[in-house]
A and B are shown apart, each in its own frame.
Chain A
Amino acid sequence: AQSVTQLDSHVSVSEGTPVLLRCNYSSSYSPSLFWYVQHPNKGLQLLLKYTSAATLVKGINGFEAEFKKSETSFHLTKPSAHMSDAAEYFCVVSQGGYQKVTFGTGTKLQVIP
């Protein structure tokens, strides 16, 4: 069984300040973990993924996430928020291979000018 919890439904930051979106997971096996971003009325775009290689994963648009097995976390960070980062972010867990994925409930990021 697997599950994922996004601890914040809304996060608001000022432009130029750091972003932290939290995600905790549970999985019976070594998981694959993903972060996707969704802009309004759009599909999902893959930001980054962890699949048992380096624990610090760098993605697109300056985002990165660190896999911490001891804390069962995969938090998404960015040093400096940009207005274009305002969107919905989904943390996703998979038990690898051809397994189904499980979505978190999403975190809406608001960036204040």
Chain B
Amino acid sequence: GAVVSQHPSRVICKSGTSVKIECRSLDFQATTMFWYRQFPKQSLMLMATSNEGSKATYEQGVEKDKFLINHASLTLSTLTVTSAHPEDSSFYICSARDSGGLAGRTDTQYFGPGTRLTVL
């Protein structure tokens, strides 16, 4: 149980284009999902908290107009990198928190496998 998928796993795009990354909780509902960015050999940096049915909460320094987040259902959140540039190249990882109320699950984040974005 507690499986999170991400699609695509890898994407290469030209500078100036937009890229959408999907994060799905496959066997549980998640009112809250998180988007992280990870640079090579570094830890995860929280970008934003995605809340089902409401606006995302962005961390300081993260441009909300550049990184659009939509959490339209209890199992799906999307991150769209708009007008991507080479400096946006990174490993993007989502996580989901089980909101189903099972004991011992609600405080745990379950991570997707990540999406490697390369902007040429």
Interface of A with B (CB < 8 Å)? Answer: 32, 34, 36, 41-46, 49, 51, 90, 94, 96-98, 100-101, 103-106
Contact = CB atoms under 8 A, between A and B. Distances in A.
Contact of B43 (A32, A49, A90, A96): A90
Interface stretch (B14-22, B76-84, B108-116): B108-116
Interface in B75-114: 91, 93, 95, 97, 104, 106-114
Contacts of B119: none
A43 B97 contact: no
Contacts, number: 49
B91 A41 contact: yes
Pairs A-B, 9 closest by C-beta atoms: A43-B113, A44-B111, A43-B111, A43-B114, A103-B43, A105-B43, A32-B107, A106-B43, A103-B44
B108 to A, nearest CB: 6
B46 interface: yes
11 contacts: A36-B111, A42-B114, A43-B4, A43-B111, A49-B107, A98-B97, A98-B106, A100-B49, A103-B44, A104-B43, A105-B43
B114 A98 contact: no
Contacts of B91: 41
Nearest to B94: A43
Contacts of B107: 32, 49, 51, 94, 96-98
B32 interface: yes
Contact of B106 (A45, A97, A104, A105): A97
B114 A100 contact: no
Contacts of A51: 104, 107
